[in-house]
Structures are given as structure tokens and as C-alpha cells.
Amino acid sequence: MQDEVALVQTQKEEKKCKEQARIPNLDCQVPELVRCAGRGDLAGVRQLLDSGMDANIQDDLGVTALHCAAKKGHGEMVRLLLERRAEVDARAMNWKGETPVHYSCKYGHTRVLGLLLRFGANPAIRTQEGRTPLDYASEKEHLGCMELLMHSALSSCLTEIPFTMSL
């Protein structure tokens, strides 16, 4: 029995080491704004922003409060951060190149995705591995996100195609 427990413990430790090996900085410093967003503490986020904290502050891995709010599906917090000028695209990439749009698609938060798109997020932005938000949404079969992304892409194509009517 003790051998089995020791084996399971060793396997857990090996898994943890492998996961940590993929993270560039194990002594990651997490700003309070990112921490509050991760906890879903809307009042805390609002208070920090009111005190002058930059909505785009990142931890050592490039994660912002907007990433956390998008991941958790906190629509009201996402709206607050966007209204306080949180970046949705290039400046908001984590160490893998993922944006809050990728997170909302990965976790199936259609309402959050809609907010991000209304605030100008690029629905086709790619990670460092070349993955788009649609890749994330389709991988997890989040149909609402897939539909919203395709609608957004179609809308942007239609506005970019000049056409004239001739009689």
C-alpha cells in the first residue's frame, strides 16, 4: 500500500515539474488587479482602477485582469476593464500570445466574446503557435462563440468590399 502511495506521489510530482517547465518564470509576481480579477472581485477591481492603477498591468507571464475576467466569464468586470481602456489585442497578449478573445473562446463565454468584439478586438488574431480564437472555440465545440466569430468575420469582410450599383 505504501509503495502505491509513493508511486502516485512521484507521478504527481513529475507531472507538476513538467507543467512548471513550460512556464518561463516560476517566481511569477501577480499584481493585485490581476489577483482581484481572478477572484471575481468586481469591487476590488473598481477600487484599484479608481485609485489610478493601469488596467493593462500584466503579471510576469503577460496575463492581465482582462484575461482573468474573460476566462471566468465575468461580463460586468470585462465591461468595466474595457471602459477603463484595457487593451484587447496586441498589448494584451500573454506569454503564449493568447489574448482575452482566445480565453473567452477557450472557455465558451459568448457574452464576454461579444463585449470584446464590440470594443474592437480582432476575431482572427493568432497566438505564437498560429492558433486563432476560432480554433479554440471549435476545439471545445463552443458553438455560440464559433457563430459569433464567423458573423464578425463576415461583417468585416462585407464592410471592406467596395461595390457599386450600376443601372
Residue type, 109: H
Lowest-pLDDT choice from 16-20, 98-102, 119-123, 125-129? 16-20
Residue 4 inside a domain? The answer is no
pLDDT digits 0-9 by tens, 30-60: 899 999 999 999 999 999 999 999 999 999 9
Residue 101 within any structural domain of the chain: yes
Q: 151-157: long-range contacts (C-beta < 8 A, 24 or more apart)?
A: 152/117, 152/123, 153/123, 153/124, 156/123
- When mean pLDDT is compared across 85-94, 110-119, 142-151, 153-162, the lowest value belongs to 153-162
Contact of 28 with 37, CB cutoff 8 Å: no
In a domain, 55, yes or no: yes
pLDDT confidence of residue 14: 45
Asked whether residue 36 is domain-assigned, the answer is yes
Distances (CA, A) of 32 to 36, 81, 85, 86, 92: 6, 14, 18, 15, 17
Domain assignment present for residue 5? The answer is no
Q: Sorting pLDDT into bands at 50, 70 and 90, what band is 2?
A: low
Inter-residue contact 54 to 26 (CB < 8 Å):
no
Q: Mean pLDDT score of the chain, rounded to an integer?
A: 84
Q: pTM score, two decimals?
A: 0.77
Domain enclosing residue 48, as ranges? 28-160
How many residues are given for the chain?
Answer: 167
CATH at 107: 1.25.40.20
What is the total count of domains within the chain?
1
- Percent of the chain exceeding pLDDT 70 equals 75
| Span of 11-25, 94-108, 125-139, 142-156 with lowest mean pLDDT | 11-25
